[in-house]
Amino acid sequence: MVHIKSAEEIAIMAEGGKILATVLYQVADMAKPGITTMELDRAAEALILKYGAKPAFKGYEGFPYSLCASVNENIVHGYPSNTPLKNGDIVGLDLGVLHKGYNTDMAVTVAVGEVSFEAKRLLKVTEKALRLGIKKARAGVTTGDVGNTIQRFIEDQGFGVVRDLYGHGIGKQVHEDPLVPNFGKRQEGTVLKEGMVICIEPMVTMGDFKMKRSDDGYGYATRDGSLSAHFEHTLAITKDGCRVLTVAP
């Protein structure tokens, strides 16, 4: 069931989204060679608490950390580890905040030190795919319209689109209806309506889009070992289009 949010609920989620974006960008700036993703997780949690919010992911479906950290071939939901990041890695940082009873969700993938040209291109394409999906999202279009826009752009760039993981609605729960795929056919799926709050999150692979469980047993990785990138924003559907809620002040 899709939950339509009131203007007051969206205002609360925008407050949480500002906290989330502020924290995530600070943590992303810390992703340098030699730091561990466990250190990034601890920093993220401390900052969220400092701003008076709570980590949305900690304890969610058994996840024991605040930050999902997915390195190189790992797509999403990776456990933080004590392995230092090294020059040339890319790391996906996915973070959620619970503020006044409402969740927001955001992700970025960042380069660690100097990375290859193709890795840089993967990050640029994935981030642009998110921007295109956001631009497409408005009342009256379908989730299939959004997914089709994302898929066509990514595949035109020669990359793969993960098929088994989706964006989603969000609110009092981290994951709500509707599912928001990063692929699909026009005019299929759920029709977006004013007051919906959704997360769009392209997950893009340098090679084949097929995936497997990652080595930590919780997250997901590319089956062929190719690099993967992930970007995400929480946005509200408005009468004029959409409003990105995960924006730093």
How confident is the model over 232-248, as a mean pLDDT? 97
Helix (H) or strand (E) holding 20: helix 7-29
Pairing of strands 211-213, 167-169: unpaired
Provide the strand spans (E) within the chain: 54-55, 67-71, 74-76, 90-99, 102-111, 160-161, 167-169, 176-180, 197-200, 203-205, 211-213, 220-222, 228-230, 233-238, 241-244
Q: Above pLDDT 70, what percent of the chain?
A: 100
Q: Within 13 Å of residue 240, how many CA atoms lie on the same side as its CB?
A: 2
Contact 211, 164 (CB under 8 A): yes
pLDDT band, residue 249 (cuts 50/70/90): confident
Tell whether the model's pLDDT for residue 118 goes beyond 90: yes
Contact 126, 107 (CB under 8 A): no
pLDDT band, residue 81 (cuts 50/70/90): very high
pLDDT band, residue 226 (cuts 50/70/90): very high
How confident is the model over 54-78, as a mean pLDDT? 97
Average pLDDT of the chain to the nearest whole number: 97
CA distance 190 to 192: 6
- Supply the angle between the helices 37-50 and 7-29 in degrees, to the nearest 10: 140
CA 180 to chain centre: 12
Tell whether the model's pLDDT for residue 217 goes beyond 90: no
Q: What is the pLDDT of residue 158?
A: 97
pTM: 0.97
Superfamily holding 7-244: Creatinase/methionine aminopeptidase superfamily (3.90.230.10)
Contact 104, 170 (CB under 8 A): yes
pLDDT tens per residue, range 11-30:
999 999 999 999 999 999 99
